Structure 1
């Protein structure tokens, strides 16, 4: 007796025990996650508060410095003599430990005057470089920290604050500057405590480092601090998996305070507690989960994946596909049997459609061959009779020869595709006959790339287009008509064009021609020509028409460059 495969309902019973254990595990994880998120929020708030305190202190310091430089500017704009100014500024430098020098520079950065605490200055020393420095909203320039190269034996780390001013005593626009020791600002930053290992630093508006507590290690290449992405971040708290970054902009100098704290140290202890709880549940849950996964893989996943693979193989190669039934649960076996039945039905339908398409193609071609305008044949024979009666036997011979070649190529030994050289010969025969009939009312020429002559095209492609050009393009044309047939490569395609200088037509007429089944009474439809090309070569190929009234018409036929195995002598 054949054993019944396991049903999905039985499988679900086996999965319940695993789901129960997983539910307990998920509940525990959710609790610990929520608790960790609460700790993250507290840590972010604490970091934000610490950065706000540091920003407030530095903002007060820079505000005081901006007040001082405005006072210095005011002294320089007063009528005090140079000796009084020297005494005033020297006293300022001596009274403030963080103020190392006061200077006046030209707009190009050349030092004009300098007041210090009495230290020996280097000869020709001192310049002001504000390249890349933008003024803050109050018009003050804050340079990045740099080594002051003004004294012979003293090299402090300073920030230069400069202010443009118009001073009569210097003959116009100058920069008033003062150098402040950066150690004062660094003291505020070093006092900020964010956890055990957190720290804060200063960047400018472009993300360049202004101050870092480990600045020497960064400059020596022993530590890195990627500050460029911080320039695009707004003020506030920015957290990722490892760090909390708090950014706050200062109103002066375009500086931004960045506080960095490590989530690891802020949530480690609660996570360790949660981990101890999970250590009891996780092994059991993992064991159950492993068993459930093995069952699913064996009883559901593998058969379904096999069935999906069979479907993909059938999708890519339906006609030659051989289906191998998939085993598994009862439901999967039902799906497999249904798919096998569907494959058989589809393959049968595909075979029927192919057979019908082949029959339709042959019938269509025979119909196309039979659709050659009988009036064209009658008129041609009348023209031959008329030439014979008038003794124009040479013209009659040419006309009969052209007509014979026209019908011989039309049959083409039953071939649907013929070389382009034969299609052009067929077109030339048709034009010879029509030129006799219309008493040289038009002329024609061929412009052909001979390397394409052996490529294949569907037969009777050009004749309906030429018929349309003669009957409709030159029907009421009073001037001499001209038809040009061109065959040229276009990448991997071939463009066959038929151009006439006839009466032309509107775009609506062009669309109508491509939608009608016939080009004239009894003629072969231009739409049929386009449809046949698409049947043989695919959707990208076919006909298009370009025309304007009184400007002539151009019909473009796009074909692939396909090699020829058709008979050369139909």
Structure 2
């Protein structure tokens, strides 16, 4: 025989149970939506990474053929002048460049490697300009292990010759500095070439092909990186590049 208290309890259970079930279903539905949202966000991040990777590869491929074309032009110019020893030397250096190029498929390399690679290009220019070319370098040993996208320094140096030094009569000078500035690396390339046209900074960067470098740096470092091109105080041009001091351990953590 069920008494009044037991009957009341049974009635309450029948009333409360559907409510509890409905609440449980709502909570489950909410978590399912959240999981779907997280999956969608994860997928978007993966797609963005793939897009940035493909964009980076495309930008890198734009640089390498340009350098090879210019280098072959240097060798051809030496051959026309019948400077046989210089041609042989240039070909030897060019072979070192090719070895580096086809062994370098990493998105980031040590700055020390980038400097060594750029040295191959400068050797060719030394053969071309002879005693007319004076090179000044200042590399802070504390930044040589910093990481940078490949072909940044080499492209800037090549650009200095193409737009500034090749058209200048008499002695030419190129200065390369790479220093540590707090948590950033500051790379400066200065030439005493023919100078810049009086146009806006963005137009100069576009005209000198430096936008490629800016885009590649932005892929890795975002707003923490910067590139500027300006006229030198004594003529010529000055390129400054800043990016966060990043070591191998930090890259692996990401």
With structure 2 as the length reference, what TM-score do the two structures score? 0.76
Query: CA RMSD of the aligned region, Å?
Result: 3.1
CA offset at residue 420 of structure 1? 1.5
CA offset at residue 530 of structure 1? 1.5
Kept after mapping to 2: 8 A contact 1:441/1:481: yes
CA offset at residue 390 of structure 1? 4.7
The alpha-carbon distance between structure 1 residues 547 and 5, as it changes in their structure 2 partners (threshold 3 A), is farther
The SS at the match of 2:247 is coil
Report 1:49-68 matches (<5 A).
none
Is 1:351 aligned to 2:46, yes or no? yes
The alpha-carbon distance between structure 1 residues 470 and 440, as it changes in their structure 2 partners (threshold 3 A), is farther
Q: Residue deviations 1:250-301, cap 9 Å, x none?
A: xxxxxxxxxxxxxxxxxxxxxxxxxxxxxxxxxxxxxxxxxxxxxxxxxxxx
The alpha-carbon distance between structure 1 residues 364 and 511, as it changes in their structure 2 partners (threshold 3 A), is closer
What's 1:303 paired with?
A: none
Kept after mapping to 1: 8 A contact 2:52/2:219: no
CA offset at residue 495 of structure 1? 0.9
What's 2:211 paired with?
A: 527
Kept after mapping to 2: 8 A contact 1:506/1:549: no
The SS at the match of 2:224 is coil
The alpha-carbon distance between structure 1 residues 510 and 441, as it changes in their structure 2 partners (threshold 3 A), is farther
CA offset at residue 490 of structure 1? 0.6
In structure 2, distance between residues paired with 1:448 and 1:6: 70
In structure 2, distance between residues paired with 1:536 and 1:361: 9
Is 1:381 aligned to 2:75, yes or no? yes
In structure 1, distance between residues paired with 2:37 and 2:147: 38
With structure 1 as the length reference, what TM-score do the two structures score? 0.37
Kept after mapping to 2: 8 A contact 1:498/1:555: yes
The SS at the match of 2:246 is coil
Gap regions ≥5 residues in structure 2: 1-16, 250-254
Is 1:360 aligned to 2:93, yes or no? no
The SS at the match of 2:151 is coil
In structure 1, distance between residues paired with 2:192 and 2:84: 34
The alpha-carbon distance between structure 1 residues 407 and 390, as it changes in their structure 2 partners (threshold 3 A), is closer
CA offset at residue 492 of structure 1? 1.7
Q: Residue deviations 1:22-60, cap 9 Å, x none?
A: xxxxxxxxxxxxxxxxxxxxxxxxxxxxxxxxxxxxxxx
In structure 2, distance between residues paired with 1:368 and 1:360: 11
In structure 2, distance between residues paired with 1:348 and 1:453: 36
Report 1:218-367 matches (<5 A).
330=26, 335-365=30-60, 367=61
The alpha-carbon distance between structure 1 residues 460 and 329, as it changes in their structure 2 partners (threshold 3 A), is same
CA offset at residue 350 of structure 1? 2.3
In structure 1, distance between residues paired with 2:156 and 2:84: 33
Report 1:40-79 matches (<5 A).
none
What's 2:110 paired with?
A: 419
Number of aligned residue pairs: give it. Answer: 234
Q: Residue deviations 1:155-207, cap 9 Å, x none?
A: xxxxxxxxxxxxxxxxxxxxxxxxxxxxxxxxxxxxxxxxxxxxxxxxxxxxx
CA offset at residue 558 of structure 1? 1.1
The alpha-carbon distance between structure 1 residues 499 and 459, as it changes in their structure 2 partners (threshold 3 A), is same
Which has a greater percent of helix? 2
The SS at the match of 1:478 is coil
Q: Bigger relative contact order, structure 1 or 2, given CA contacts below 8 A and separation 6+?
A: 2
Is 1:431 aligned to 2:122, yes or no? yes
The alpha-carbon distance between structure 1 residues 5 and 547, as it changes in their structure 2 partners (threshold 3 A), is farther
Larger radius of gyration: 1
Gap regions ≥5 residues in structure 1: 8-326, 520-524, 566-570
The alpha-carbon distance between structure 1 residues 549 and 449, as it changes in their structure 2 partners (threshold 3 A), is closer
In structure 1, distance between residues paired with 2:118 and 2:226: 18
In structure 2, distance between residues paired with 1:390 and 1:348: 58
- Match among 478, 491, 501 for residue 192 of structure 2: 501
What's 2:6 paired with?
A: none
The alpha-carbon distance between structure 1 residues 359 and 469, as it changes in their structure 2 partners (threshold 3 A), is closer
- Match among 230, 233, 248 for residue 546 of structure 1: 230
- Match among 467, 480, 484 for residue 158 of structure 2: 467
